[in-house]
Amino acid sequence: MSITLKPMAFAVAATLVLGACGKKPETPATPVAVPTAAAPAAPINEGALDIVAWPGYIERGESDKAYDWVTGFEKASGCKVNVKTAGTSDEMVSLMNQGGYDLVTASGDASLRLVAGGKVQAIDVSRIPSYSSVDPRLQDAAWNTVDGKHYGVPYQWGPNVLMYNTNVFKTPPTSWGVVFTPQNFPDGKSNKGRVQAFDGPIYIADAALYLMATQPDLGIKDPYALNEAQYAAALDLLRKQKPLVHRYWHDATVQMSDFKNEGVVASGSWPYQVNGLQADKQPIASVIPAEGATGWADTTMLATDAKHPNCAYAWMEWSISPKVQGDVAAWFGSLPAVPAACTGNALLGPEGCKTNGQDQFGQIHFWRTPEAKCGDAACVPYSRWTEDYIKIMGG
């Protein structure tokens, strides 16, 4: 490398050289140490972490010793994990509004409400070294990224499947009509009292999705963006469904019990219940019908007033390690947010991601909070969904 001296510097240098001619060399001065900027201190973890999560998302081996991604984190970080499970997105929003939690595993029908309500904060991605390993389709998704800011770390995703009893359905049902319209099942018995519906306003989107395929004249393009006529048709379908419904479910454990003990044979569900019932040797399977499915892509979001932010950041980094991602997917029946987790996981197995629906991303209409403004059109907002669905369930 060549160095160019400025004129003044050159003159000074020349004078020093000339003045040194004929003189006895002087003893070099002792070099003076130049202070360097101190490295920033590593964050001190606060010793605790409080998380609101879906059932089955935060496991410490209490149900099955093989499924434990909490104990290792606690040993490595010194952060004691406390979990509050929630059965619906509305319950999660309510808990976060109450405060006292650091993180929440929010689905798309809750995440933007939490952002708009100021209950969660944008994260510093530089504090999560593994963020780049997350599936690019999830990194900047509309339900977790606002104005270019990331509000959390993607965790898992998957479809809302049609779970059914294989003793009743010898071949998989092909349409959501089995839970929406009166009919006899293959065993010759009516579906009245033998199906369930989800206890959450976002279930209106499931009705809209069914109508999108069966009544194309309604012009539904997005089950979360409904005009007044489309919305009215979805409500009408749900009112007609009401006499068929055994229970509006939100507790996964209760739904599993209903399939075992209460004669329920078909319902929208999560892969978590399917896995649990199959592990219990029950005659249960699941399918995504011809109309497609709604689904969820969940994000671990940081509360605005988190009391344990350093432990929270430590967990967000831990949560997207391939081992944790694969273990969660194996336990819940979901898909990892980190594609690398699909290989080399003993619990998930070589075909686990394919079995759980890895190739179905394009078929899933992911939960999203309905808004009054959808593009240039006016749509029915979520506040209306909540009010009207409560009336249907209670009617």
DSSP secondary structure letters along 164-190: EETTT-SS----THHHHS--B-TTS-B
Q: How confident is the model at residue 186 (pLDDT cuts 50, 70, 90)?
A: very high
CA distances from 385 to 21, 44, 179, 209, 231 (A): 92, 44, 20, 15, 9
Q: How confident is the model at residue 11 (pLDDT cuts 50, 70, 90)?
A: very low
Q: How confident is the model at residue 260 (pLDDT cuts 50, 70, 90)?
A: very high
pLDDT at residue 6 above 70?
no
In order of start, what are the domains of the chain with their CATH numbers?
48-158+295-365 (3.40.190.10), 160-294+370-394 (3.40.190.10)
pLDDT at residue 344 above 60?
yes
Higher-confidence residue: 121 or 395?
A: 121
Residue 66: name the closest of 357, 355, 348 by CA: 348
Instruction: Report the share of the chain in percent with pLDDT over 90.
Output: 86
Average pLDDT of 148-177?
97
215-255 per-position pLDDT tens digit: 999 999 999 999 999 999 999 999 999 999 999 999 999 99
pLDDT at residue 85 above 60?
yes
Average pLDDT of 12-19?
38
Average pLDDT of 190-203?
97
Average pLDDT of 322-327?
98
Tokens of 196: 């369930």
Residue 376 is predicted with a pLDDT of: 86
Q: Determine the Cα–Cα distance for residues 366 and 298; give it in Å rounded to an integer.
A: 10
> What b/e readout covers 89-111, taking b as 16+ CB neighbours within 10 angstroms?
bbbbbebbeeeebbbbbbbbbbb
Please tell me what DSSP assigns to residue 316. H
Instruction: Report the share of the chain in percent with pLDDT over 70.
Output: 89
Residue 12 is predicted with a pLDDT of: 37
Residue 250 is predicted with a pLDDT of: 94
CA atoms within 13 A on the CB side of 378: 2
Residue 40 is predicted with a pLDDT of: 57
Q: How confident is the model at residue 9 (pLDDT cuts 50, 70, 90)?
A: very low
pLDDT at residue 204 above 50?
yes
Mean of all residue pLDDT scores within the chain: 91
Residue 37 is predicted with a pLDDT of: 52
Q: At what angle do helices 271-279 and 322-332 cross, to 10 degrees?
A: 70
Q: Determine the Cα–Cα distance for residues 313 and 102; give it in Å rounded to an integer.
A: 10
pLDDT at residue 89 above 60?
yes
pTM (two decimals): 0.83
Average pLDDT of 29-54?
73
Residue 160: name the closest of 390, 336, 347, 363 by CA: 363
Tokens of 260: 């075992």
Residue 41 is predicted with a pLDDT of: 61
Please tell me what DSSP assigns to residue 390. H
Residue 186: name the closest of 161, 211, 200, 168 by CA: 168
